[in-house]
């Protein structure tokens, strides 16, 4: 290879070098005078941009620190400058970005729009949302703001890129929340509509049932009433108005009750009603009400049923007053008959008993006859018990069940009653539990009558389980005696009624004799002793019937 250059070539090279020196001098001059602050240098690494520290340094730092991407483009869309934020958006260093067309980072489907914005940007400031595609191919939503910059070297286009990812996310989140809200709103709206329908339906039903209730209650021969929870009347049917001559307003007047209820019945009825309201329990009471047409009193059975909310709160009372005058009259007649019949039977029966006892004393009678006399004596004793019970019932009815009271030791009565029972009912075993000495003021005969009654019931109603327990317990100023059996037991409904006169449970599968007087008489006797009777029972398991008496004060 020949390295030797001709004179002409050397001259041309010299001319070129001189030209470069002039250019370098001019550049130096421009730098010195602050006319330029960046230069491109072509070297083995390619085209490099070198920036100079000048008075614009502050703006440069500011642009570098901006949260937005900043890019300067020339007319060929080539990136002349880009800040750090733009680099991090794309994921490439600025050295790899400068000199590259910005459109390379715009996804194909958005290029046309980009070109339109760009074109507009050269003429005036323009803005538009477009995606930017980074190194990984991920699309970032960006707000592009274009504005052209007049510079000494000509016009360039500055582009500010605002990352809208967060905003879009927030928008998206907001939209989804809005959608959810809308969904909920729709549901609430639908529920509201349904609720309105239900309310309408219920109102209609209520009206119908109110009319039904009014129609029925006005056309039955029973008095119907309703009150508020506190007992203030708010409805009476026609029958009430006809019978008492009082409308709702009159009936609410302060003295109304006192004026129409029999003076003997008013206080006890009021007490029972007040108790029912306080205990929120069913009210049931018999009292006389004055009839407006003739001023006469008639017996009524008044029943009140408390209407409660699910929470147990008392809402109202529904009630009826049934005319039981005829029934009362019949009962009175029956009581009268029982009283007369039992009195009439008592005398001949006593003499019959006397004769039988005399016959029992006869020594030389055949064995067979003696057995008959003994049986006759037993039957007469049973009959006497029955007549005595009937007489007791009559006495109770007439308010004449009175007896002498003495200081007694209950322990003695219990021991003798249990011993007697063991003798009379050999089929059963009797157990005494905790029988302490307890002094009471009472009538020994009557207390024994009660205890024997409970024991005979325990035996009668426990045909298969033969154990009977008599238990007593002292609690502060009271003593309770209970008789427990493990027999047929009774339902809750029956437990509430067994102390009523002539009440018998329908035990059709069990043959037992009785008239339903025992517990009624017992309860009355205990009441006379200022005590109380109770029954606790489980059907098929057995019963405990007890009475509580006040202990005697020394
Ligand atoms: P009765 O003469 O019918 O026994 P009571 O007044 O003594 O009359 O009892 C009333 C009703 O109570 C009885 O008919 C019976 O059904 C029921 N009863 C009483 N005691 C018991 C008991 N220990 N076990 C089961 N039922 C009983």
Give the containing element (helix H, strand E) for 276: helix 263-279
- 216 band by pLDDT with thresholds 50, 70 and 90: confident
DSSP string, 281-313: --EEEEEEEE-TTT--EEEEEEEEEEEE-TTS-
| Separation CA 265–CA 275 (nearest Å) | 15
At 247, is the secondary structure helix, strand, or coil? coil
Taking the centre of ligand 1 as the mean of its atom positions, its distance from the CA of residue 505, in whole angstroms, is 7
Per residue in 497-538, pLDDT (tens digit) is 999 988 988 876 666 778 899 999 999 999 999 999 999 999
Once rounded to an integer, what is the mean pLDDT over residues 130-144?
94
| Separation CA 80–CA 63 (nearest Å) | 15
HSE-CB for 396 with a 13 A CA cutoff: 21
Taking the centre of ligand 1 as the mean of its atom positions, its distance from the CA of residue 513, in whole angstroms, is 10
Asked whether the predicted pLDDT for residue 307 surpasses 60, the reply is yes
Mutate to test the pocket of ligand 1, among 449, 512, 519 (most ligand atoms within 8 A of CB): 519
pLDDT at 212: 87
Nearest residue (CA) to ligand 1, atom 17: 505
Once rounded to an integer, what is the mean pLDDT over residues 296-303?
97
Taking the centre of ligand 1 as the mean of its atom positions, its distance from the CA of residue 437, in whole angstroms, is 29
Once rounded to an integer, what is the mean pLDDT over residues 65-83?
91
| Separation CA 363–CA 433 (nearest Å) | 43
Taking the centre of ligand 1 as the mean of its atom positions, its distance from the CA of residue 370, in whole angstroms, is 34
Q: Is-contact 552 438, C-beta < 8 A?
A: no
pLDDT at 200: 92
Once rounded to an integer, what is the mean pLDDT over residues 231-257?
93
Taking the centre of ligand 1 as the mean of its atom positions, its distance from the CA of residue 518, in whole angstroms, is 8
pTM exceeding 0.85: no
Closest CA to 307 of 228, 204, 214: 228
Taking the centre of ligand 1 as the mean of its atom positions, its distance from the CA of residue 452, in whole angstroms, is 13
Looking at the CA of residue 514, tell me the nearest atom of ligand 1.
Answer: 2
Once rounded to an integer, what is the mean pLDDT over residues 78-85?
92
Q: Is-contact 501 369, C-beta < 8 A?
A: no
Mutate to test the pocket of ligand 1, among 463, 466, 498 (most ligand atoms within 8 A of CB): 498
Asked whether the predicted pLDDT for residue 382 surpasses 50, the reply is yes
pLDDT at 55: 45
Asked whether the predicted pLDDT for residue 292 surpasses 80, the reply is yes
- Supply the mean pLDDT for the chain: 89
Asked whether the predicted pLDDT for residue 3 surpasses 80, the reply is no
pLDDT at 32: 47
Per residue in 310-337, pLDDT (tens digit) is 888 889 999 999 999 999 999 889 888 8
pLDDT at 507: 72
pLDDT at 444: 95
pLDDT at 502: 87
Give residue ranges with CB within 6 A of ligand 1: 457-458, 461, 485, 487-490, 498, 503-505, 507, 514-520, 543, 545
Beta-carbon contacts of 152 under 8 Å, excluding residues fewer than 6 positions away, are: 35, 36
User: What φ, ψ does residue 46 adopt, rounded to 5°?
Assistant: 110, -160
Once rounded to an integer, what is the mean pLDDT over residues 151-169?
87
Closest CA to 241 of 223, 228, 215: 223
pLDDT at 554: 64
């Amino acid at each position: 290879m020949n390295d030797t250059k001709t004179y002409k070539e050397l001259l041309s090279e010299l001319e070129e070098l001189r030209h470069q020196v002039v250019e370098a001098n001019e550049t130096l001059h421009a730098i010195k005078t602050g006319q330029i602050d960046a230069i491109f240098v072509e070297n083995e690494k390619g085209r490099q941009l070198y920036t100079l520290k000048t008075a614009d340094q502050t703006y440069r730092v500011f642009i570098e620190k901006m949260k937005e991407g900043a890019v300067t483009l020339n007319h060929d869309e080539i990136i002349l400058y880009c800040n750090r934020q733009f680099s991090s958006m794309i994921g490439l260093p600025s050295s790899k970005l400068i000199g590259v067309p910005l459109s390379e980072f715009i996804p194909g489907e958005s290029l046309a729009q980009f070109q339109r914005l760009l074109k507009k940007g050269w003429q005036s400031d323009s803005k538009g949302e477009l995606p930017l595609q980074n190194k990984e191919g991920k699309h970032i939503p960006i707000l592009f703001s274009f504005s052209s910059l007049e510079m000494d070297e000509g016009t360039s286009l500055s582009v500010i890129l605002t990352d809208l990812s967060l905003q879009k996310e927030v928008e998206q989140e907001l939209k989804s929340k809005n959608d959810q809200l809308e969904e909920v709103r729709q549901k609430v709206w639908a529920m509201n509509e349904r609720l309105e329908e239900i309310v309408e339906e219920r109102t209609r039903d209520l009206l119908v049932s109110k009319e039904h209730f009014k129609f029925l209650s006005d056309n039955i021969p029973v008095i119907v009433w309703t009150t508020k929870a506190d007992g203030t009347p708010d409805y009476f049917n026609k029958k009430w108005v006809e019978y008492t001559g009082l409308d709702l307003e009159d009936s609410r007047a302060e003295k109304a009750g006192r004026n129409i209820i029999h003076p003997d019945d008013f206080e006890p009825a009021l007490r029972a009603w007040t108790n029912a309201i306080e205990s929120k329990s069913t009210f049931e009471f018999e009292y006389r009400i004055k009839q407006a047409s003739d001023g006469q009193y008639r017996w009524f059975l008044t029943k009140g049923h408390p209407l409660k909310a699910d929470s147990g709160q008392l809402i109202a009372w529904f009630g009826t007053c049934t005319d039981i005058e005829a029934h009362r009259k019949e009962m009175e007649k029956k009581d009268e008959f029982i009283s007369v019949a039992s009195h009439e039977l008592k005398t001949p029966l006593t003499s019959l008993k006397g004769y039988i006892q005399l016959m029992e004393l006869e020594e030389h009678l055949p064995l067979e006859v003696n057995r008959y006399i003994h049986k006759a004596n037993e039957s007469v004793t049973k009959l006497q018990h029955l007549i005595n019970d009937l007489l007791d019932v009559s006495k109770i009815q007439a308010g004449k069940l009175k007896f002498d009271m003495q200081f007694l030791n209950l322990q003695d009565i219990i021991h003798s009653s249990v011993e007697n029972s063991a003798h009379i009912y050999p089929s059963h075993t009797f157990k005494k539990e905790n029988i302490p000495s307890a002094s009471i003021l009472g009538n020994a005969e009557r207390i024994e009558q009660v205890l024997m009654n409970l024991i005979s019931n325990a035996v009668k109603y426990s045909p298969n389980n033969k154990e009977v327990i008599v238990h007593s317990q002292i609690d502060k100023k009271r003593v309770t005696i209970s008789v427990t059996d493990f027999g047929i037991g009774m339902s809750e409904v029956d437990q509430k009624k067994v102390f009523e006169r002539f009440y018998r449970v329908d035990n059709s599968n069990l043959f037992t004799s009785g008239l339903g007087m025992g517990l009624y008489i017992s309860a009355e006797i205990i009441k006379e002793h200022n005590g109380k009777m109770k029954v606790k029972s489980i059907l098929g398991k057995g019963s405990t019937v007890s009475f509580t008496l006040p202990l005697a004060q020394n």
